[in-house]
Amino acid sequence: MTTTKRAAALASVAVLLTGCGFRGAYSLDLPGGADTGDAPYSVQIQFADVLDLVPQSGVRVADVPVGKVTDIQLGDDWTALVTVEVNGDVDLPANAVAMIQQSSLLGEKYVELAAPGGEAPTGELQDGSLITLDRTNRNVEVEEVFGALSLVLNGGGLAQLQTITSELGQALEGREDAVRNTLDQLDTFIGGLDDQRTEINRALDSINALAGTLAANTGTLTTALDTIGPGLAVLEDQRGLLVSMLQSLAQLGDVGTRVINETGADTVANLQDLQPILSQLAAAGPDLANSLDLLLTYPFPASSLTALQYRSDQRTGGYALFANMTADLDLDLTQLFCRYVVDQTTGALVLLDPTQVTDACGVAGSPGGGAGTAPGQGSGGTGPGGGFTLPTLPDLTALVPGAPGSTGTGSGGLLGLPAIPGLTTGAGQ
pLDDT tens track for 53-109: 899 999 999 989 999 999 999 988 889 999 999 999 999 999 999 999 988 877 889
The pLDDT of residue 4 is 53
Would residue 373 count as lying in a domain? yes
The pLDDT of residue 73 is 93
Would residue 88 count as lying in a domain? yes
The pLDDT of residue 138 is 85
Domain containing 360 equals 329-429
Structural contact between residues 354 and 303, judged by C-beta atoms closer than 8 angstroms: no
Question: Phi, psi (5° rounding) for residue 46?
Answer: -95, 130
Would residue 199 count as lying in a domain? no
Would residue 175 count as lying in a domain? no
Would residue 365 count as lying in a domain? yes
The pLDDT of residue 33 is 66
Would residue 6 count as lying in a domain? no
**What is the number of domains present in the chain?**
2
Structural contact between residues 429 and 367, judged by C-beta atoms closer than 8 angstroms: no
pLDDT along the chain (429 residues), means of 10: 51 49 51 76 92 90 92 89 93 93 84 91 92 89 78 68 82 87 92 92 94 91 88 88 92 91 88 88 80 72 66 68 63 68 72 69 54 42 40 43 45 41 42
Q: What is the 3-state secondary structure (H, E, C) of 60-126?
A: EECCEEEEEEEEEEECCCCCEEEEEEECCCCCCCCCCEEEEEECCCCCCEEEEEECCCCCCCCCCCC
Task: Tell me if the bond preceding 384 is cis, omega within 30° of 0.
Answer: no
Alpha helices (runs of H) in 296-366, residue ranges in sequence order: 333-337
The pLDDT of residue 244 is 92
Other CB atoms within 10 Å distance of the CB of residue 228: 10
The pLDDT of residue 429 is 36
| Coil vs helix vs strand at 128 | coil
Write the DSSP symbol of residue 420.
Answer: P
User: How far does Cα 203 stand from its chain's mean position?
Assistant: 19
Domain boundary among 115, 140, 165: 140
Cα gap 240→252, rounded to integer Å:
18
The pLDDT of residue 198 is 92
Structural contact between residues 88 and 80, judged by C-beta atoms closer than 8 angstroms: no
The pLDDT of residue 401 is 44
How many helices, marked H, and strands, marked E, lie in the chain?
Answer: 9, 12
Would residue 81 count as lying in a domain? yes
Domain boundary among 140, 172, 195: 140
Burial call 260-282: b when 16+ CB within 10 Å, e when fewer:
eeeeeeeeeeeeeeeeeeeeeee
The pLDDT of residue 397 is 40
Would residue 222 count as lying in a domain? no
The sign of the CA dihedral 405, 408, 412, 416 is: positive
The pLDDT of residue 411 is 42
Domain boundary among 84, 113, 140: 140
Cα gap 199→205, rounded to integer Å:
10
Distances (CA, A) of 343 to 388, 394, 399, 415: 20, 12, 15, 11
Give the burial class of 70: count Cβ atoms within 10 A of its Cβ; 0-12 exposed, 13-18 middle, 19 or more buried: middle
